[in-house]
Structure 1
Amino acid sequence: MTRPPQPFGTVVSTAGVNLRQYPSTDSSVVGNLNHGAEIGLHSKVHAQTIDGNSIWYLLRDKAVWVSARHVDNTGEVPLSKDAKPSAPQG
């Protein structure tokens, strides 16, 4: 299996992780990922703190958020204000 280009993340929570519409547990769950899943990361923001970690990642291929508390990242993930916009998905 080929890894996504950097930056990417690997789900480390044994229970997996929820994908959220916005970077908060108050936001709607729009999907989930299993332990070990690898995902492309577009950018990060500081938002709701989960177990001492306030970083949330925006996925590269889908406009959803995941708590960094449950994901180990590989490569430099830019802050959202520094990230280049993604090409429109269509």
Structure 2
Amino acid sequence: MSRRSPLALFGLCLATGAVAALAAAGPATAEESVHNDYRGRVTAKSGLLLRDKPTRSSRVIGLARYGSIVHIFCKTRGGSVDGNNRWYLLSDGTWAWGSALYIDNIGPSPRWC
């Protein structure tokens, strides 16, 4: 089985909406692990709904609890949430999107997807 690059998998993900396909990439390379160093803290009091696409109308696939630390792979523009169109692709077990409005960065701002 051939191993696809992270960018190729991310493109597949955007094209098909199959965010879970990224998880099948296997162990992280040294380059990928640098991108997994982006972290944030969830600020949504009732928890942050995690979605399969960077829009409020997409399917909910998880929940990140208030105050929890999440690992951020990259950021992109998506559907607006209270005037903020930035979304983070989270890499905590399940690849899912969370609105950046409810995640405070810990350290540097994530790279663009």
Q: TM bucket by the smaller chain? A: 0.7 to 0.9
| Alignment-derived partner of residue 68 in structure 1 | 100
Matched, 1:38 2:69: yes
Scaled by the length of structure 2, the TM-score of the pair is 0.63
Scaled by the length of structure 1, the TM-score of the pair is 0.78
Q: Which runs of 5+ in 1 are unaligned?
A: 81-90
Hey, what's the Cα distance between the residues in 2 that align with 1:63 and 1:33? 12
The AA in structure 1 aligned to 2:39 is: F
1:59 counterpart (78, 90, 93): 90
**Larger gyration radius, structure 1 or structure 2:** 2
Displacement of 1:6: 3.1
1:47 counterpart (69, 78, 87): 78
State, as a whole percentage, how many aligned pairs show the same letter.
Answer: 32
Displacement of 1:33: 1.1
Hey, what's the Cα distance between the residues in 1 that align with 2:66 and 2:37? 19
Query: Larger RCO: Structure 1 or Structure 2 (Cα < 8 Å, ≥ 6 residues apart)?
Result: 1
* Dislocated runs of 4+, deviation >2 Å: none
> Which structure shows the bigger proportion of residues in helix conformation?
2
1:29 counterpart (36, 60, 67): 60
How many aligned residue pairs are there? 76
Displacement of 1:52: 1.5
